[in-house]
Amino acid sequence: PKKVLKPTEFQQFELKEKTIISHNVAIYRFSLPSPSSILGLPIGQHISIGAVLPQPDGTQKEIVRSYTPISGDHQPGYFDLLIKSYPTGNISKHMASLVVGHTIKVRGPKGAFVYTPNMVRHFGMIAGGTGITPMLQIVRAVIRGRAAGDKTEVDLIFANVTKEDILLREDLDALAAEDKGFRVHYVLDKPPEAWTGGQGFVTADMISKWLPKAAPDVKLLLCGPPPMVGGLKKAAVGLGFEKARPVSKLEDQVFAF
């Protein structure tokens, strides 16, 4: 299959389907040049989306943001992006305004993380909100690789504000039901009554309870709002993990997307 992405050059892709998930979340499906084309995106890497957008002062400015598709190269012909649009977001608000037939410009791949089967014995993952996208990409790759001998264990803490905010919960629960090596633990800041999952922000106690202990063959993967990731990096040090770098490298024990 022909790989489409070019790391240094933006290319246009047409929106062919838009699936509304909630008032501010949608899945956007973009066509690739042919039914057999693939993005050519290694598992764990992401793409850049660029758009020239009007600014408050009346000028136009090119804005570029990174996103991880929730589809993969095993699904030729298209790629899917799960995007939550924020009132103050540049690209996310632009995406929400797109209708079928509109195009976006994309380049890639980019990112320091590339997943390879059995690279570690056990992943501990912590995601907040749309930070679930790189985690889901890796979890799906691990489970797809079982038949070929991928034995990686995965525990995921997924933090959100309310139960309604949990993105792709059905997909995550189905993966956990299908694969005994993958477990998902939900944490809500504002849980409903009778909620049995975690409550509040993700704490060191939750990490100790649900995720693997620090070890040379364990990696902790983080993705979410910057204040959350900053707090988790500090908590991880207290639990015996190596101190995270400001910009993560593949070999790091604690990797923030």
Annotated binding site: 65, 67, 82, 84, 91-92, 133
Task: Identify the bridge partners of residue 156 per DSSP, sorted by sequence position.
Answer: 125, 184
**Distance separating alpha carbons of residues 231 and 69, to the nearest angstrom:** 26
Which of 125, 227, 210, 139 shows the shortest CA–CA distance to 179?
A: 139
Active-site pick, 8, 19, 68, 88: 68
Determine whether 46 is an active site residue: yes
Cis bond upstream, residue 109 (ω within 30)? yes
**Distance separating alpha carbons of residues 103 and 101, to the nearest angstrom:** 7
The alpha carbon torsion through 19, 20, 26, 31 (nearest 10 deg) reads 20
Active-site pick, 19, 28, 46, 152: 46
Task: Identify the bridge partners of residue 83 per DSSP, sorted by sequence position.
Answer: 26
For the chain, how big is the Rg over CA atoms in Å? 18
Active-site pick, 28, 78, 185, 223: 223
Determine whether 68 is an active site residue: yes
Determine whether 223 is an active site residue: yes
Known binding positions for FAD = 65, 67, 82, 84, 91-92, 133
- Catalytic residue numbers, as ranges: 46, 67-68, 223
